[in-house]
Amino acid sequence: MQQDALTFAIRPNASPMPEADRLKAFENLGFGTLFSDHMAVIRWSADKGWHSAEVTARAPFPLDPAAAVLHYAQEIFEGMKAYRAADGRAVLFRPEENARRFNESARRMAMPELPEALFLEAVEQLVRADAKWIPAAEGSSLYLRPFMFASEAFLGVRPSKEYIFCVIASPVGPYFKGGAKPVSIWVSEHYTRAAAGGTGAAKCGGNYAGSLVAQAAAYEHGCDQVVFLDAAEHRWLEELGGMNVFIVMADGSLVTPPLGGTILPGITRKSLIALAKDLGYTVREERYAFEDWKADVASGKAKEAFACGTAAVVAAIGKVKSPDGEFVINAGETGPVTAKLRDTLVGIQRGQTNDAHGWLKVLEGV
Ligand SMILES: *Cc1c(COP(=O)(O)O)cnc(C)c1O
C-alpha cells in the first residue's frame, strides 16, 4: 500500500518561541541543541499504509514501553540542511538524494518505504512552517532530521506493523567547537563499525550506538573523532563515525574508500567527487590501508586529508593518532585542495557559486 500524495494538516504551534528569544539564541548557535517550533509527522500501519500527515507543534511522542524501537532498534534517519542563500532564497541541497537513501535504509531495516514525493513534501512543509528558523549567518543553516521508528507495542523479533516518520529542525552553527580548525582523529584498531552483509550502508541509529564506545576512546586520547578500519583485516580505512574520508595525494589525485556495503554512501562524498573532477582532479575510489597512509604522509606522497558530511561539510584532518603513535598532516593546517573543495561546495550551497549540476532546490516563497 503506497500513497504518493497525502494532504498535510497544518496545525500551527500555539506558543512559538518569542522572536526576541529566537534571535538571541541565533547569536550563539551550537549544533543540535536548539529546535524549531514545529515537526512534520506521517504515520504508517500495515492496514492503512501511510496516513495522518501533519505539521504540528514540536512535542514528545507518547510511546508504549513495549514500542519495538526501544527493544530492537528498528530506526533510520537522514541529515540535511536548509540554507538561506546570499540573495535571500531558502534552498535545500540535493534533497532527492536523501529521499532515495532513506528508502535504501528502510529496505535494509525491513521498514516500509516512504514515497520520495512524501519525504520531500514533509521536509518542505516543515521548512515552510519554520522558515524564520533558518539562520542567515555564514556557516549556519537549519539542520533537518527526518527519521522513522518502529512504534508498534510488542515483544518478539519481527518487523513492526506500525511506524512513525517525523522531521524535526534545528538551527545550527559549526559542527565542531573549533569551527574551521582541522580535526584530530583516533584510529580504532579494536572496534569496527560495519562488516560485510551488515548495516554499514544504512543510516540507522544502531550503527551510531555501536560507534559510541570507540568515539569515547577518541576523546580519551584527545581526539575529536574516530576513524574505523575494515572489520575483516583491520587494515583498510573505512570512514569516521558519521563522516566519509578523503586523502589528497601530492600528484593531485584524491583517494576515498569505495562504497561496498560497509560505508555510508555520503551525499557530500558523492558531491565532492563530482566537484573534484570538475576542478581537474583524478578521484580514485580505492581501498587505502592505514599503514600506507602513515608511510605516504611520511614520504610526502599524501599531502592532505579531510572528512566530509552534511553536518560538518568538509573538515580538514590535521592529526592522526593510533596506539602506535601519531602523525601530523599538512603541519596541522587546512590544505589548499581541501579549502578549494570546501569553498566550492559551500559556495554552491549558499547560492554564491554557479550551481552547474542543478543541486539546489529553491523553496519558492519561503
Ligand atoms: C550521514 C553519514 C555520513 C555523511 O553523509 P552525508 O550524506 O554526506 O551527510 C557519513 N557516514 C555516516 C556513518 C553517516 O551516518
Q: Are residues 15 and 153 in the same domain?
A: yes
Q: Name 365's Cβ contacts closer than 8 Å, sequence gap at least 6.
A: none
User: Which residue(s) pair with 254 in the sheet?
Assistant: 248, 283
In a domain, 120, yes or no: yes
Q: Over 70: is that where the pLDDT of 24 sits?
A: yes
CB burial readout 306-331, b (16+ within 10 A) else e: bbbbbbbbbbbbbbbbbeeebeebbe
Give the span between the Cα atoms of 144 and 80, in whole angstroms. Answer: 5
Q: What pLDDT does 3 receive? A: 67
Decide: 242 in ligand 1 pocket, CB within 6 A.
yes
Decide: 194 in ligand 1 pocket, CB within 6 A.
no
Q: Are residues 27 and 162 in the same domain?
A: yes
Q: Whose CA is nearest to atom 6 of ligand 1?
A: 266
Domain range for 317: 183-349
Q: What is the pLDDT of residues 244-294, one digit of tens each?
A: 999 999 999 999 999 999 999 999 999 999 999 999 999 999 999 999 999
H or E segment and range at residue 247: strand 244-249
Instruction: Supply the mean pLDDT for the chain.
Output: 96
CB 259 within 8 Å of CB 202:
no
Give the span between the Cα atoms of 283 and 277, in whole angstroms. Answer: 7
Pocket test for ligand 1, best of 96, 310, 346 (most atoms within 8 A of CB): 310
Q: What pLDDT does 179 receive? A: 65
Q: Are residues 198 and 120 in the same domain?
A: no
Compute the distance from residue 242 Cα to the ligand 1 centre, in Å.
5
Ligand 1 atom nearest 80 alpha carbon: 9
Compute the distance from residue 16 Cα to the ligand 1 centre, in Å.
31
Cell of 102: 532513506
Give the span between the Cα atoms of 104 and 239, in whole angstroms. Answer: 19
In a domain, 84, yes or no: yes
Q: What is the pLDDT of residues 152-195, one digit of tens each?
A: 999 999 999 999 999 999 999 978 766 678 999 999 989 999 99
- Closest to 167 in 3D by CA, of 198, 137, 124: 124
- Predicted confidence band of residue 5 (pLDDT cuts 50, 70, 90): confident
Q: Are residues 200 and 165 in the same domain?
A: no
Pocket test for ligand 1, best of 244, 262, 275, 346 (most atoms within 8 A of CB): 244
Q: Are residues 163 and 195 in the same domain?
A: no
Q: Are residues 214 and 110 in the same domain?
A: no
Q: Whose CA is nearest to atom 12 of ligand 1?
A: 242
Cell of 363: 523553496
Compute the distance from residue 309 Cα to the ligand 1 centre, in Å.
5
H or E segment and range at residue 215: helix 205-220
Q: What pLDDT does 1 receive? A: 53
Q: Which of 119, 140, 172 is the last residue of a domain?
A: 172
Q: What pLDDT does 175 receive? A: 80
Decide: 310 in ligand 1 pocket, CB within 6 A.
yes
* CA neighbours closer than 13 Å in the CB half-sphere of residue 139: 17
Q: What is the pLDDT of residues 300-317, one digit of tens each?
A: 999 999 999 999 999 999
Compute the distance from residue 203 Cα to the ligand 1 centre, in Å.
8
Cell of 268: 557530500
Q: Over 70: is that where the pLDDT of 2 sits?
A: no
User: What is the pLDDT averaged over residues 56-77?
Assistant: 98
- Predicted confidence band of residue 147 (pLDDT cuts 50, 70, 90): very high
Decide: 244 in ligand 1 pocket, CB within 6 A.
yes
Q: Are residues 314 and 336 in the same domain?
A: yes
Q: Over 90: is that where the pLDDT of 236 sits?
A: yes
Q: Are residues 141 and 195 in the same domain?
A: no
Compute the distance from residue 125 Cα to the ligand 1 centre, in Å.
24
Q: Over 70: is that where the pLDDT of 38 sits?
A: yes
43-47, 82-86, 91-95, 177-181, range with the lowest pLDDT: 177-181
User: Which residue's entry shows cell 552553527?
Assistant: 173
pTM above 0.85, yes or no: yes
Could you tell me how far CA 316 lies from the centroid of its own chain?
A: 17
Decide: 81 in ligand 1 pocket, CB within 6 A.
no
In a domain, 361, yes or no: no
Decide: 309 in ligand 1 pocket, CB within 6 A.
yes
Could you tell me the CATH number of the domain that includes residue 116?
3.30.470.10
Pairing of strands 49-57, 360-363: unpaired
Q: Are residues 168 and 197 in the same domain?
A: no
Q: For residue 299, how many other CB atoms are within 10 A of its CB?
A: 9
CB 50 within 8 Å of CB 119:
no
